[in-house]
Every structure is written in C-alpha cells, then in structure tokens.
Amino acid sequence: MEANSAVIAVRGLVHRYQDRTALNGVSFDVRPAELFGLLGPNGSGKTTLFRILSTLMVPSSGTATIVGLDAVRQPGALRRHIGVVFQAQSVDPKLTAYENLWHQGHLYGLRGQELKTRIDEILTRVGLLDRASDRVETFSGGMQRRIELAKGLLHHPEVLLLDEPTTGLDPGARRDLWQYLQILRDQEHVSVIVTTHLMEEAERCDRLAILNEGNLVALGTPEELTREIGGDVILLEARDPQSLADRIRSKFHVDASVMDTQVRLEIESGHRFVPDVVEAFPGEIQSLSVSKPTLEDVFIHRTGHRFWNEEAEAAAETGKKKKAKKH
C-alpha cells in the first residue's frame, strides 16, 4: 500500500520518560476504514502511543500524522478529525445521555437543529435513542461505554481512537461493543484504532501491531501472523523441563524452549512428532498438548517469552508509580 493512502502514518516514534524508554522507534500505517489493533502486554507502550496519536503528549522523536496532519505541529487541526475514547469515564453520570452529547457538540461548534439531528443519529447508531432522556448513572457499564463512543463520534471523525474500550465490561457487552466498531468501519468508513491486551479482541482486528517493551515486534493480519509460524505448537509438561528440552534438541534437532514448567516446540507436523517423542523419553512426559498457533504463540515466537510476563509487568508498574510520586 502506498504511504499516501494511509490515514495514520507513524514513523520512528520514540518516547522516553526520564531514563525509561516507552517507545523505541515504532513505525506503521493504518489504512482507511480499517479496524486496527495495538496489542501488547502491560508496559509495552500502548498508552504512550495512544497519547501521542491523540495529541496529548509530544514524542521524544519521530512523527505521527493523521489524515496528513502532524500530531506535534498541527494538533488543533488534527483533533477535529479524530474521536477519542479514553479508559477513564468522561461522561457526566448526573446528566442524561442527550445532555452529555449536547455539551460535547458545543465543544465542536455544533449548534441548534444540526446538533439535535446529529445526537439522534448517533444515539440510534449506538442503540440508545430510547434512553436519551435518562441519566447516564442509570445505565449499565456497556451502555455507558456506548455513550462514550457516541461522544467520540459526534463530530463525524474519520478516525476513532479507543484505549482498552472493553475494560470492566462483561463478555456480552464486549461482544456488542466490537460489533459497533465493525459497523462503524463498514457503514461509516471510520478507521478505528483500539489498544488491547486481550488476544481474543486482537483476533477481531483487520490488522495488528504487536508491541513489546516499546518495540513493534509484529505487524499484519491475525491470519498472516499465525500462519507465519506454520505447523503446530506442542507443549510438554515434565518434572525437569530444562533437561528434557536439552535432550529433545539433541535427539530431534528441533528448537525446544522452556516456558515456566513446560517445554515448547514449534513443529511442522505435530501429530507425527508426538509418538516419537513419547517413545524416546518413556515415563518423563506428564502431559502433552498439540495446538494450532495462536497470537500468543506469535508473541512468544517473536520475543522468546510469554505474553503474561509478571516480571516485566511489575517493572512497568514501578515505572509508573515512581513517576506518579514525583508529581
């Protein structure tokens, strides 16, 4: 795809908080009417990237443009083209759905009949027109998120940015929200960027950028990314996984790694390998699983460690807390 057909172009984005590098040279494009996911574990840099794209923060270096407007040099103009839905609630629960949208419309210079029509339109779009005059505090979590979405969409942005939009929602409300995002893409041709740390959400995106410790480790459709691993993933449970992995490597000349208490292998034809490995190490394998590669496997393949890495998460949390104390 040519660079000029990108709705969002991120080039060599670097961001440092004091001595911590949150983004380490990230580049990618988002295409028109694409549902694009930013997937990464806690601390991988998603929120930092999100804040830069929504013009709330200036990167240490590199550029981000949305519809050709530079996030650092033209933040005011850029903001008119984006809708932003933050993790934290921004609607006023004491006001009705309609009143919340009325105030939001004023911020964007919408007035009178035009605004009324647009509010009706957008409430219909998120399935809440019949609740327009109810206070938002009487809504379920999923409905409140839909009002947030309506707020972000009121001024007809070409791009919608959402930071972990399904946090705190039950599975039914999550599914609904994703359906709305797909409808927006298909019927209004909005480009939707969603940050998530959930694999099952990432799988619903058209394309994904996977982040790890500030680096872009994979970019593509979920199918492309998992296909790249090929074959099967085998996990073996053993009392001494390190020793078993060493011996599997030397006997079968395959790449066996140790993840927590398991030996992990990526093998072309898993079903053929299983009887061989069980026979080669009688009594040593306590359990065994063969599965098709998932996005979690893509992450392991590219980084050498699990997506849920407690050490990395703890380090990321310490970084944030340190910063919070300074203010």
Residue numbers at the binding site for ligand ADP (CB under 6 A): 17, 20, 22, 40, 42-48, 316, 319-320, 323
User: Helices in 54-140 by DSSP H: which ranges?
Assistant: 75-79, 97-107, 112-125
Taking the complex as a whole, how short is the minimal distance between the CB of residue 83 and ligand ADP, in angstroms?
20
Residue 91 or 316: the one with the smaller Cβ distance to ligand ADP is: 316
Q: Which amino acid is at 65?
A: T
d(CA 115, CA 121): 10
Taking the complex as a whole, how short is the minimal distance between the CB of residue 269 and ligand ADP, in angstroms?
36
Residue 14 or 235: the one with the smaller Cβ distance to ligand ADP is: 14
Taking the complex as a whole, how short is the minimal distance between the CB of residue 327 and ligand ADP, in angstroms?
9
Q: Are 299 and 210 in contact (CB under 8 A)?
A: yes
Residue 223 or 310: the one with the smaller Cβ distance to ligand ADP is: 310
Taking the complex as a whole, how short is the minimal distance between the CB of residue 14 and ligand ADP, in angstroms?
12
3-state class (DSSP) for residue 182 = helix
Residue 46 or 145: the one with the smaller Cβ distance to ligand ADP is: 46
Contacts of 244 (CB under 8 A, 6+ apart): 236, 238, 256, 263, 281, 284, 285
| 219: β partners | 209
Residue 46 or 131: the one with the smaller Cβ distance to ligand ADP is: 46
Taking the complex as a whole, how short is the minimal distance between the CB of residue 304 and ligand ADP, in angstroms?
18
- Alpha-carbon distances, residue 31 vs 9, 166, 198, 298 (angstroms): 9, 23, 22, 23
Residue 97 or 193: the one with the smaller Cβ distance to ligand ADP is: 193
Taking the complex as a whole, how short is the minimal distance between the CB of residue 34 and ligand ADP, in angstroms?
21
And the tokens for 20?
Answer: 């911590």
User: Helices in 141-269 by DSSP H: which ranges?
Assistant: 141-153, 171-188, 199-202, 222-227, 241-252
And the tokens for 184?
Answer: 């927006």
Taking the complex as a whole, how short is the minimal distance between the CB of residue 324 and ligand ADP, in angstroms?
7
Residue 8 or 316: the one with the smaller Cβ distance to ligand ADP is: 316
Q: Are 109 and 137 in contact (CB under 8 A)?
A: no
